[in-house]
Structure 1
Amino acid sequence: MKIAFFCDAYVPTKNGVATSALTTAQELRSRGHRVIIFAPRFTDYEDDDPDVVRFVAGHWFKARDYPVAFPVLSRIAPRSALLFRQMKFDVVHTHSPFVLGGIGAHWARYNFVPLVWTFHTLYHHYAHYSIASPRTSRAYIMWRVRSMLHKSDRVIAPSHAVERVIKKLFPEAPTQVLPTGVNLQKFAGSDGEAVRRELGFAPDETVLLYVGRMAPEKNLGFLLRALAPLLKTRRAKLLMVGGGPSVESCREMARKMGIEHRVTFTGFIDPQRIADYYAAGDIFAFASRTETQGLSIAEALCAGKPCVVVNAMGAAEALESDGDGFLVPATEARFREACARLIDDPQLRQKMSGRARERAPIFAREKRVDELLDLYETVIEEVARQNPIERLKFNKNGF
């Protein structure tokens, strides 16, 4: 099968969307499928993947690690359009409703190729990154989202919570729930002890772990406030793995709380070592309320870490509450109570760790890609039965 991915966020960007696209493409290619990835270009970054097509990009957002493609300014754009037609793709899979996602939808429509879109993000929660006003940004975001919902032959929701959001926006959207899979092999042979030694953690210290983007939408202030009393009264440390715009503000918050010597910020790390950092932790603590699926929670569970997670959106669906962790209300007291229980009870930690490892196969990327290929085949068959002229028509709302 020949598949085109259109990604407005792709490596070297470090976020869940880029990870999802990369992981899925790797598994598809391992089965003999051809995946061409259209993505923004990064300064001083060269791909070792010949099947990545890069577009000239600049910065429309306050977050400097998110370049935005300018296809009309890119000399490669005409060649990319020609490549698209020559490849005769079986399916187009977009991972964004914006610039490159929109181009993918346009090319799919006018070349009679089935269009699949993964609704990775609650986009309106990220309007603060735009250089435009929040009101203008939200209006633009919702216009792009509704447009893509109308054009897509199938919309993948990473969780049931996201599917409910989609149905509120467009009840007729052809949705299917399909979370992103995890590469279980990367956790084999991980070396958490090496990381603990590097960071100076004592063997008898309990390490609370956060892995993810350091950004406002991750609710990091809540996390620090909830854990501060425990860090002051227990033999515990907090390890925050990841980079982003909130690193310095979190450092300052930790300093003001008097816990700066109990919190370690790594910044961006080598992706090849992420499994070692998961292995270094004892308890995974995650407070974000905007996750569409909680990919880092799934990874933590696959690493055998009991989790304490705020009960919100897609993050709640990854966890078996009271089995491999605790799903708690969004209050600092309840979050702190759950973490304290795990810190104080090593046997409970061990029990939940075992349950997390038992459940790991349900997150395997092989299983998820099996389901994705079934979805592709179904959509291809559905589109083959459609009238090509009807696919070119815009609906009555002008999308």
Structure 2
Amino acid sequence: MKIAMFTDAYFPRINGVAVSVRSYAESLTKLGHDVMVVCLEYSEEQQRSSFFDEKSSDKMSPFEVVRIPSTRTNFSKEDRMVRIDKCNRIKKVLDKFHPDVVHINSEWTIGYFGAWYAHHRNVPFVFTFHTMWEDYLANYVPFLPKFSLRKIGRSVVKYYLKRADVIIAPTKRIASVVREYGIEKDVDILPTGIPDDKVKYSVPRSFQISSRLYKKFPHLKGKRLLLFVGRIVKEKNLPFLFDVLETVRLSMPKTALLFVGGGPFLEELEELSEKRGLSGSVAFTGYMKSEDLMYFYRLSHVFVFPSKTETQGLVTVEAMLAGLPVVAIGEMGTVDVMQGDNGGFMVPDDVSMFASKVVSLLRDQNLRKRKSREAVEWGGKWRISSLTPRLVDCYEKAVRIGGGTVPGPEIDLFDEELRNEIEEGADRRLFADADGSELE
């Protein structure tokens, strides 16, 4: 099967969508499918960044990666937007590839053109509802009223939900939101899988990473490590962990907190750590290579996850596969991943209760060993090798249903005259319907 995957977020941009797309694209390729990822071209500075290693480059990819020229956005330093005048390139490349199915993984410009290509070429269209934009937009456009942002977020997502032949949700919670949006279609629940090579472990490499870590942060030596892995962004509720650390240290002073990851909130979080007098007990590594994360999981004692807006929270699964017990706030995607106290403890948004479970795991070695074994077993449900065949089933279902679900007159988005019209009114029309009306 030939599969075209569209995404506005892809490496060197690191987030859950980028990881999901690459993981499934690699796994599909191993099963013999022909995959093309259509994504944005990033700036030279982003491509030179330390976290965009050679292994992550397009040249090393086992599937084809097509990048469309893009421009910066005003609301995010990390994200970019496709140049509308380059959309004709999408048509040419995809016509040559001739996909059997289009899989859209994001809702913005690349995703939009993917939907239009699917309609124009009558190709079956699968949409994965990765992100709750009605909750996230406030972090990117804080100057607009929240009720307006929620309406915009819903409208953008509903555009795809209405038109997709098959809808995929990574969790039951996201699937229920589809119904809340008034969409009566069936939803296939398919979480993002964890690549099998994520659990690979090398003793020499472990020694290298631990040596570098303690050389850079000597104040971590001899302490029990609480670990957070992920993007350092406001929506992750990360200052909550400072409250937890202070509470834990009241009874277990030799405890430290390690943040592995980078993001736009990193500098502010470092400053907050200093203001609260926690510099001697907190460390920030910045971005790390994906294949090295396993060693940080293995070095730590408890994985702490405070996010309340997570669609899935795949890092909790990665931690479990490494045998690291998890303590997490039981909201959004965490509920679907942990489903209770599997592999650790799922607690309310309460510092005292969160800290209490962390202390229990640090003090009681038998409890920690039991939860560690439980974590490995539970995390195994998310191995991508067992999930990819279910994704193929979704593609085959979309093919049976058929494409061309976008209502309205036959309009060639890639026609030169229409492109000129779009460029002239891009801000107004970018997410307009076929008849030019606002999105619902």
How much does 1:199 deviate? Answer: 2.0
Instruction: Map 1:236-251 onto structure 2 (within 5 A).
Output: 236-251=255-270
Report if aligned partners of 1:116, 1:155 keep a CA contact under 8 Å in 2: yes
Identify which of structures 1 and 2 has the higher relative contact order when contacts are C-alpha pairs closer than 8 Å and 6+ apart.
2
- The answer to whether the aligner puts 1:151 opposite 2:163 as a matched pair is yes
What CA deviation, in whole Å up to 9, does each residue of 1:203-246 have, x standing for no partner? 74211110001011100011221222324643211110100111
Runs (5+) with no aligned partner, structure 2 = 48-56, 410-432
Cα distance between partner residues in 2 of 1:330 and 1:303 = 25
Aligned to 2:209: 195
Cα distance between partner residues in 2 of 1:60 and 1:130 = 11
SS of the aligned residue for 2:25 comes to helix
Q: Structure 1 175/125 Cα, relative in aligned 2: closer, same or farther at 3 Å?
A: same
- The answer to whether the aligner puts 1:170 opposite 2:188 as a matched pair is no
SS of the aligned residue for 2:58 comes to coil
Report if aligned partners of 1:61, 1:131 keep a CA contact under 8 Å in 2: no
TM-score of the aligned structures, taking structure 2 as reference length:
0.83
- The answer to whether the aligner puts 1:56 opposite 2:69 as a matched pair is yes
Report if aligned partners of 1:6, 1:101 keep a CA contact under 8 Å in 2: yes
Instruction: Map 1:71-86 onto structure 2 (within 5 A).
Output: 72-74=84-86, 77-86=87-96
Cα distance between partner residues in 2 of 1:162 and 1:270 = 29
Cα distance between partner residues in 2 of 1:283 and 1:147 = 41
The residue type paired with residue 172 of structure 1 is E
Aligned to 1:345: 364
Instruction: Supply the RMSD in Å over aligned alpha carbons.
Output: 2.3
SS of the aligned residue for 1:64 comes to coil
Instruction: Map 1:211-226 onto structure 2 (within 5 A).
Output: 211-226=229-244
How much does 1:137 deviate? Answer: 4.5
SS of the aligned residue for 1:309 comes to strand
Q: Structure 1 167/315 Cα, relative in aligned 2: closer, same or farther at 3 Å?
A: same
How much does 1:308 deviate? Answer: 0.2
Report if aligned partners of 2:154, 2:181 keep a CA contact under 8 Å in 1: no
How much does 1:155 deviate? Answer: 1.4
How much does 1:198 deviate? Answer: 2.0
Cα distance between partner residues in 2 of 1:265 and 1:101 = 34
- The answer to whether the aligner puts 1:47 opposite 2:66 as a matched pair is no
Aligned to 2:153: 141
Report if aligned partners of 1:231, 1:262 keep a CA contact under 8 Å in 2: no
Aligned to 2:351: 332
SS of the aligned residue for 2:328 comes to strand
Cα distance between partner residues in 2 of 1:341 and 1:165 = 35
* Larger deviation, residues 22-31 vs 374-383: 374-383
* Larger deviation, residues 353-362 vs 198-207: 198-207
The residue type paired with residue 244 of structure 2 is A
How much does 1:106 deviate? Answer: 0.8
SS of the aligned residue for 1:54 comes to strand
Cα distance between partner residues in 1 of 2:72 and 2:138 = 14
Report if aligned partners of 1:184, 1:302 keep a CA contact under 8 Å in 2: no
Cα distance between partner residues in 2 of 1:61 and 1:348 = 48
* Larger deviation, residues 198-207 vs 182-191: 198-207
Cα distance between partner residues in 1 of 2:85 and 2:141 = 20
TM-score of the aligned structures, taking structure 1 as reference length:
0.92
How much does 1:128 deviate? Answer: 3.4
Percent same amino acid at aligned positions? 30
Q: How many residues align?
A: 392
Q: Structure 1 338/148 Cα, relative in aligned 2: closer, same or farther at 3 Å?
A: same
The residue type paired with residue 84 of structure 1 is L
Report if aligned partners of 2:247, 2:352 keep a CA contact under 8 Å in 1: no
Cα distance between partner residues in 2 of 1:185 and 1:271 = 10
How much does 1:7 deviate? Answer: 0.4
The residue type paired with residue 73 of structure 2 is W
SS of the aligned residue for 2:193 comes to coil
Cα distance between partner residues in 2 of 1:150 and 1:164 = 15
Q: Structure 1 83/315 Cα, relative in aligned 2: closer, same or farther at 3 Å?
A: same
Report if aligned partners of 1:226, 1:335 keep a CA contact under 8 Å in 2: yes
Runs (5+) with no aligned partner, structure 1 = none
Aligned to 2:106: 96
- The answer to whether the aligner puts 1:110 opposite 2:128 as a matched pair is no
How much does 1:130 deviate? Answer: 3.9
Aligned to 1:121: 131
The residue type paired with residue 6 of structure 1 is F
Cα distance between partner residues in 1 of 2:142 and 2:173 = 29
* Larger deviation, residues 202-211 vs 288-297: 202-211
Report if aligned partners of 1:6, 1:95 keep a CA contact under 8 Å in 2: yes
The residue type paired with residue 91 of structure 1 is V
SS of the aligned residue for 1:35 comes to strand
Cα distance between partner residues in 2 of 1:294 and 1:132 = 24
Aligned to 1:262: 281
* Larger deviation, residues 308-317 vs 252-261: 252-261
SS of the aligned residue for 2:379 comes to helix
